[in-house]
Amino acid sequence: MSQDQKRTPLYDLHAELGAKFVPFAGYAMPVQYAAGILKEHLHTRAGAGLFDVTHMGQVRLIAPDAAERLEALVPGDITALAAGEMRYTMFTNGRGGVLDDLMVTRRADDVFLVVNAGCKDQDIALLRDALGAAGVAYDEDRALLALQGPGAVAALARHAPGVADLGFMKAAALTIAGTKAWVSRSGYTGEDGFEISVAHADADGLARTLLAEPEVEAVGLGARDSLRLEAGLCLYGNDLTPDITPIEAGLTWTISKRRRATGGFSGDAVIQAQIADGPARRRVGIQPSGRAPARAHTSVVVGETTVGEITSGGFGPSVGGPVAMGYVDRAHAKAGTEIVLDIRGKRHAAAVVKMPFVPHRYAK
């Protein structure tokens, strides 16, 4: 591990658990533990996986009109949020492309954002330019844990009574085993679960408390990626980029009727036109035949014409075979369309399919 890689406050715990570390967004992060990615993935689907996602950026907007000013940067309806409500949205550029995707929570005294690790410096600069430096606080002293899976609520409720009453995409200040935390019922696996923000000093103790529960095992970034892929969730830098719009990505549902009509955000004219007329390409699920996984940048071919490209792909442990997503021309985006994938110079049959590959099991 490079000496200049940052370590989260759970680094020593990861090492103790036998983690294999990889560099990710400037951090030394656990990609897997001794059990391996497949078992960690399947355990999360059956029980509860505990992920360290402290590398993500936690940002507070503290300007009095933060919600209104944030709406100039994102197509999401932020002002409609009540305290404790969350929304998934994106920063967009003048072409309608996605600069980052993020979670926004309105709180009584601020607007709380969780942004992607690799984008947080540019995001904070964008926010400070729009709101002023005094209106943006970056909480570098906060850790972020994700507890995901059907066993997550039972495990957490033993230490935080009442957490089961927290609705999906809602958040609240809670005390977990004596530790003050900000908890949201959300996640990145397609399963029920929580994201838990705590002070760095409290992270190791809280993680050990949760790992002592029978449902919970530590899970690394490898399984986090295969879980989100099966759930049909975008990975920034692969499935979302500055050259891909939310409409092309199938994320029109994140834009309210008011924002579609009034605009007022970067790239609004492009996005409004794509909503009205349809985009020239669309993000789709792709099911390769056979066992060969189709990785990012694999060409999608119909006849002798390249009609798209894989943006995320790999083995789906819950599916029991390869799964992928990517962008194809609108004419070939309908589920059931037969396509060919050029995998390392060999052609493999595949089909466009509906996502998610594994049904979402979010809290109702």
pLDDT tens digits, one per residue of 20-63: 999 999 999 999 999 999 999 999 999 999 999 999 999 999 99
Cβ pair 84, 268 in contact under 8 A: no
Cβ pair 209, 10 in contact under 8 A: no
- CA 67 to chain centroid, in Å, comes to 22
pLDDT tens digits, one per residue of 216-266: 999 999 999 999 999 999 999 999 999 999 999 999 999 999 999 999 999
Confidence grade of residue 364 (pLDDT, cut at 50, 70, 90): confident
- Return the SS3 of 155: helix
Cβ pair 179, 206 in contact under 8 A: yes
199 CB burial (10 A radius; 0-12, 13-18, 19+): middle
- From residue 37, alpha-carbon distances to 41, 233, 241 in Å are 6, 18, 27
Q: Angle formed by the axes of helices 221-230 and 37-46, to 10°?
A: 60
Please state, in angstroms and rounded to a whole number, the distance separating the CA atoms of residues 251 and 76.
11
- Read off the amino acid at residue 104: V
Percent of the chain with pLDDT over 70: 99
Tokens describing residue 67: 């919600």
Cβ pair 85, 169 in contact under 8 A: yes
- CA 354 to chain centroid, in Å, comes to 19
Q: Which residues of 138-155 are buried (b: 16+ CB within 10 A; e: fewer)?
A: bbeebbbbbbbbbbbbbb
Mean pLDDT of the chain: 97
Domains and CATH numbers, the chain: 11-54+140-230 (3.30.1360.120), 58-138 (3.30.70.1400), 252-353 (2.40.30.110)
Task: Tell me if the bond preceding 317 is cis, omega within 30° of 0.
Answer: no
Please state, in angstroms and rounded to a whole number, the distance separating the CA atoms of residues 14 and 18.
6
